[in-house]
Structure 1
Amino acid sequence: MKQHCYEITEIIKQHLERIVSLRGNINLKPDNSYVSEGDLLVQKLVLDYLQQELPEHQLISEELAPFTDVIWDQNGSYVVLDPIDGTENFVSGLKEWGIGISIYTHGLHQESCIYLPELNDLHITGMTMTHHRSRIRGLSSSLTKQDLLQLEEGFEYRIIGCSMYNMLAAVRGAYASFENVKGVNCWDILPGLNFALEHNCEALVDGVAYQGQILFPTQKYKINIKKRHEALA
């Protein structure tokens, strides 16, 4: 089977210098978050590829939102893209940002990818993975000061501000767990959720075990990923 995620990441690598050079070209979106021209370039590169290689698939991307008057088909064919996850990190000059892709054909997951370009870190469905043991809990950057003051004692916590980084760390066991209790969009979490299934992690979406289904941009989802220790044996 053709590995589309691999081919897309190779295209992004070829344009990485240009993408990074655009981190200072930013606009403020209605929700007060940033979008950079780097985000838009990644989206264009992926869209151009899909038009050639997967023309029957519809692109769901953060920078195409909002999706109004769209009828979603649970058995349809979609590519879900977060062109730059952690844009706040990206435009601030931090390296902890990533690109997330999940491909569904006729409602079935085919492959996913998390690519952290400036950290030179890449994982695609089917790749081997080194597993770790950790006492660190990863947290979402959406937490308020009051939320932080209520955290359980006895653990180390990390707030990185990039869902792709956080979810990949949780699947690898570099975090004991990662949780977002405020809710995030489908493009923020689908690659990590599918890696969690592949690598025997506990993955909850709104408190229910994730089964590999596509999630649509109709709501925000609360997620929790925890490494199962038996997978490390």
Structure 2
Amino acid sequence: MSNVDEYYTEILRFVKQAGSIVREKIYQHKDVLTKSCDVDFVTEWDQKVEKLLIDGISSRYPDHRFIGEESTSSGQKIELTNSPTWIIDPIDGTMNFVHGLPYTCISIALLINKITEIGIVYNPILEQLFTARKGQGAFLNGAPIHVSSEKELRQALVMLEVGTSRDPEKLKIVLQNITLLTSHVHGIRSFGAAALNMCMVALGGVDASFEFGIHAWDVAAGDLIVREAGGVSIDPAGGPFDVMSRRTLCASSMELAQQLSKILIQYYPERD
């Protein structure tokens, strides 16, 4: 555990350095490239933040492995092994970052033997630092946080996302779920950043969040933060959460999660 303590201290230092880049650049002009489609963006700052984090960790721990959004999009193969592995989204909510909307964050998790030991989600614009260590609780800026006590879907505020995919089948299912949920829940919200959506569940500000088509780097940190805040993280069909499945559902309680899973129209993207 002493090694994990050290890893946690070091990654916080690198995350805060990366956060200063995001904070400085969010309201400036950015050159934008596209990846999978016209609304799947990447900027030079996504790439620079990821490089800062990977270079910083590698300089201290050369045997550690990485799964990063931008390195993966450039062709590196995703492989989750038992080795210490950092799963990194350098800027979750790149669309928001490009437009200057302050709901954007750095998301990073450490998995050892495929078990998440550290989760950090940092929104440097609003100065929200969500942290969790396995078995040690979840925190916002150092203060303990906890999910809501909601167990009834009809009383729940639910986060969801359309996402960047413009696959017609996926869009159809997302819109069907939005229509379906309007008659079953208190309300629906969307921040445009999966990691922040999950952290809102951990904070108790919303009661559940789900998304299809996300990636491991979007959800690895948020999954631990939700669970350490007393919530649950499962597959949207009701089974166990799988960080590589590109599917997530987290909630304040198992009762709420299962109610939501039973009414959702499912979508199964290709795995990471």
Q: TM-score range by the shorter chain?
A: 0.7 to 0.9
Let me know the Cα RMSD of the aligned residues: 2.6
Q: Aligned to 1:184, what secondary structure does the other structure show?
A: coil
Q: How do 1:153-168 residues align onto structure 2 when only pairs under 5 Å count?
A: 153=183, 154-168=185-199
Aligned-partner Cα distance in 2 for 1:71–1:163: 20
Aligned-partner Cα distance in 1 for 2:235–2:116: 17
Determine the structure 2 residue equivalent to 1:228.
253
CA-CA distance at 1:108 after TM superposition: 3.6
CA-CA distance at 1:8 after TM superposition: 1.6
Are the structure 2 counterparts of residues 102 and 71 from structure 1 closer, same or farther at C-alpha, using a change threshold of 3 Å?
Answer: closer
- More moved, 58-67 vs 80-89: 58-67
2:48 to 30, 41, 57: 41
Aligned-partner Cα distance in 2 for 1:76–1:174: 35
CA contact 1:205–1:221 (8 Å) conserved in 2: no
1:195 to 208, 225, 246: 225
Determine the structure 1 residue equivalent to 2:97.
90
Determine the structure 2 residue equivalent to 1:169.
200
CA-CA distance at 1:10 after TM superposition: 2.3
Aligned-partner Cα distance in 1 for 2:240–2:112: 22
- Unpaired runs of 5+ residues, structure 2, are 134-138, 151-155, 164-170, 255-272
Is the counterpart of residue 118 in structure 1 residue 139 in structure 2?
A: no
Q: Which of the pair is proportionally richer in helix?
A: 2
CA-CA distance at 1:18 after TM superposition: 4.3
Q: How do 1:1-150 residues align onto structure 2 when only pairs under 5 Å count?
A: 1-2=5-6, 3=8, 4-20=10-26, 24-32=30-38, 33-66=40-73, 70=77, 72-126=79-133, 127=139, 128-131=143-146, 133=148, 135-142=156-163, 144-150=174-180
Aligned-partner Cα distance in 2 for 1:189–1:71: 15
Are the structure 2 counterparts of residues 28 and 171 from structure 1 closer, same or farther at C-alpha, using a change threshold of 3 Å?
Answer: same
Aligned-partner Cα distance in 2 for 1:101–1:139: 21
Aligned-partner Cα distance in 2 for 1:45–1:21: 21
Aligned-partner Cα distance in 1 for 2:19–2:220: 22
TM-score between the two structures when normalised by the length of structure 2: 0.72
- More moved, 140-149 vs 64-73: 64-73
1:79-118, CA deviations, whole angstroms, 9 ceiling, x for partnerless residues? 1000111111110110001110001234343311000111
Are the structure 2 counterparts of residues 69 and 102 from structure 1 closer, same or farther at C-alpha, using a change threshold of 3 Å?
Answer: closer
1:150-201, CA deviations, whole angstroms, 9 ceiling, x for partnerless residues? 3241421102211111000011211111111x23110010111111221221
Count the aligned residue pairs.
223
Determine the structure 1 residue equivalent to 2:215.
185
Q: How many percent of aligned residue pairs carry the same amino acid?
A: 22
CA contact 1:82–1:187 (8 Å) conserved in 2: yes
- More moved, 152-161 vs 68-77: 68-77
- Unpaired runs of 5+ residues, structure 1, are none
Aligned-partner Cα distance in 2 for 1:204–1:50: 30
1:50-88, CA deviations, whole angstroms, 9 ceiling, x for partnerless residues? 121221112211111248684835312211000111111
1:98 maps to a residue whose letter is C
